[in-house]
Structure 1
């Protein structure tokens, strides 16, 4: 298994969240990477953030989102970032974060986060209409899917077992 650098950028190409993760494998949902407890990530040049729980991340092919699945007892079970399609390199995955997030809490609550940021950045960065529509369509689908469909129900747990 090899390590992959995950790099999110904003629409103006400035560095956003980034971290190193371990390649776990691929299935019909996409490519899975994992990070054990005590791993770190970083937003831009800000100080590193240390994660107390293990997590896995799904990078679907030809979709406009990525998904993080957190181990217990973290209250956020699933965190989906609306993004452009992922560019898959051998040692680096890159995508543009489009602000909108779909969050599923461990108690089953699902909500959309950062709609204000999405609205602001549409103007500030000049998102094309096609980008706005693609992000909205994927967001609407995710709100339903994280509560009712795989890989959001049990599939991710097999991958999470590999990094616990």
Structure 2
């Protein structure tokens, strides 16, 4: 395992959303991989704190409009993709803006889109520009197909997950 990296999701108005510390696992053609062990803590804003019950890894692609979390069994959500602005990287920080839409693959292989209502509401509340709306929707549409059929959503993530178990 490598160095500790701070992960910070914000909302479009700059408000702190989910944040946590993770361990650097490496980088490949899909992006930067960070790992979280059982018992590590993540927090939403200043309120909700969550303790990880399963090992998980997170993918931060370069130049893409999403991030992805891959959860170990027995968690029923195997893959959880957040549609976001492209990730910004520094040595000890990755940050992005959460754009509400989520693509989820359950352990039984079913794929669903979540928070479409929140995405519609926040377009008005935060004044998302037309380009941001279009990029977010296009990313969501691509992810629905990719999480069911393509790498790194099929096998690639498993070697990273093995490292944090």
Instruction: Please tell me the TM-score bracket, short chain as reference.
Output: over 0.9
What stretches of structure 2 of length at least 5 have no aligned partner? Answer: none
Give the secondary-structure state (helix, strand or coil) at the position aligned to 2:73. coil
User: Which position in structure 1 is the counterpart of 2:53?
Assistant: 52
TM-score relative to the length of structure 2: 0.99
Moved over 4 A (4+): none
User: Which position in structure 2 is the counterpart of 1:101?
Assistant: 102
Listed one character per residue, the Cα deviations across residues 31-53 of structure 1 (whole Å, up to 9, x for unaligned) are: 00000111110000014210110
User: Is 1:135 the equivalent of 2:136?
Assistant: yes
Instruction: Report matched runs for 1:53-92 at 5 Å.
Output: 53-92=54-93
Give the secondary-structure state (helix, strand or coil) at the position aligned to 1:145. helix
User: How far has the Cα of 1:60 moved from its partner?
Assistant: 0.2
Q: Tell me the C-alpha RMSD between the 2 structures.
A: 0.5
User: Which position in structure 2 is the counterpart of 1:159?
Assistant: 160
What stretches of structure 1 of length at least 5 have no aligned partner? Answer: none
Listed one character per residue, the Cα deviations across residues 63-110 of structure 1 (whole Å, up to 9, x for unaligned) are: 000000000000000000000000001101000000000000000010
User: Which position in structure 1 is the counterpart of 2:147?
Assistant: 146
Give the secondary-structure state (helix, strand or coil) at the position aligned to 2:140. helix
Between the aligned partners of 1:108 and 1:114, the Cα distance in structure 2 is 19
Between the aligned partners of 1:102 and 1:153, the Cα distance in structure 2 is 15
Give the secondary-structure state (helix, strand or coil) at the position aligned to 1:26. strand
Listed one character per residue, the Cα deviations across residues 4-25 of structure 1 (whole Å, up to 9, x for unaligned) are: 0000000000000000000000
User: Is 1:29 the equivalent of 2:19?
Assistant: no
User: Which position in structure 1 is the counterpart of 2:15?
Assistant: 14
Give the secondary-structure state (helix, strand or coil) at the position aligned to 2:147. helix
